[in-house]
Amino acid sequence: MGLAIHYFRAPTDYTDKLKRDGNRAKARAFWEYCDDVNSEMNNSERFYVQSWGVGKGTVGRWLKEFKHEYDRFIAAWELTNSQEKKEAGQLRGTREPKIPSTTTTPSDFEKNSGAYVGHERGKVFNKNINNIYCPKSKIPNFSDDDMDVSELLYSKLINIHASIKKPNLSKWADSIRLMRERDGRDILAIKNMILMIFDKNQYFDGTFWRSNIMSTEKLRKQYDTIAIQIKSRQGRKAA
């Protein structure tokens, strides 16, 4: 029986970043996703919920992000290889290719050697990867917890504002990220504030804020004011 070799293409720089950030479980999930795509296995979200051991909402976000990274990588791969073939063909078919002035003009034998063609291919590959695989737009750096808190706020709002349009939850999650990273807020404290505003409790009446906190950005702006009110009214209750 012959040696069976199976491989698939995937952006290792993406998984390396995930591992550096401590998201090894997500990195493993991405490898499974890439293998399934290459094997043409169309698995459901429910399947990945069980396989990856995360919630349905997280699976949905991961699959969207994974598809973006994989499609971006494949587009770069295909364009790079098509350019490689074109450049290689031109090099083989031209007896006097243009050689940079900083290099020594090769002989006819050298021009058609594998080493020379490989060198030219490498220049084309690097040029296209820089232009295609590294676009200006980047996936936001918010965490799954940031998205969960954003979805919590939206679920509370839609219960009392039935006509509210579904927001850009990625933008909302990025505001939560800013609250953590720039404002020094604890993710649990942010979540508890939302619950204090929208859930009836004996310590704080959030009626006013339910009509004013219509986004995570607005929550960020009013966080200190609300926190002071909550602390003040809890103190009066305790007294």
Q: By the 8 A CB rule, do 67 and 101 touch?
A: no
235 pLDDT tier (thresholds 50, 70, 90): low
- Give the burial class of 4: count Cβ atoms within 10 A of its Cβ; 0-12 exposed, 13-18 middle, 19 or more buried: exposed
Dump pLDDT digits (tens) for 93-131.
Answer: 555 455 454 545 555 545 454 555 455 555 544 544 444
Q: By the 8 A CB rule, do 74 and 34 touch?
A: no
Question: What is the number of other CB atoms lying within 10 angstroms of the CB of residue 157?
Answer: 19
Report the interhelical angle of 24-38 vs 12-20 (nearest 10°).
160
- What is the average pLDDT score of the chain? 77
238 pLDDT tier (thresholds 50, 70, 90): low
Residue 116, phi-psi category: left (phi > 0), alpha (psi -120 to 50), beta (remainder): alpha
Radius of gyration over alpha carbons of the chain, in Å? Answer: 27
134 pLDDT tier (thresholds 50, 70, 90): very low
Count of positions (residues) in the chain: 239
pLDDT at 178: 95
Terminal Cα distance for the chain, rounded: 82
Which residue did the predictor score with more confidence, 84 or 21? 21
Measure the CA angle with vertex 168, ends 166 and 170; round to 5°: 135
Q: At residue 92, does pLDDT exceed 90?
A: no
Closest CA to 146 of 75, 224, 223, 57: 57
- Give the CA distances from residue 227 to residues 153, 207, 214, 221, 234, in Å, rounded to whole numbers and listed in that order: 17, 15, 17, 11, 11
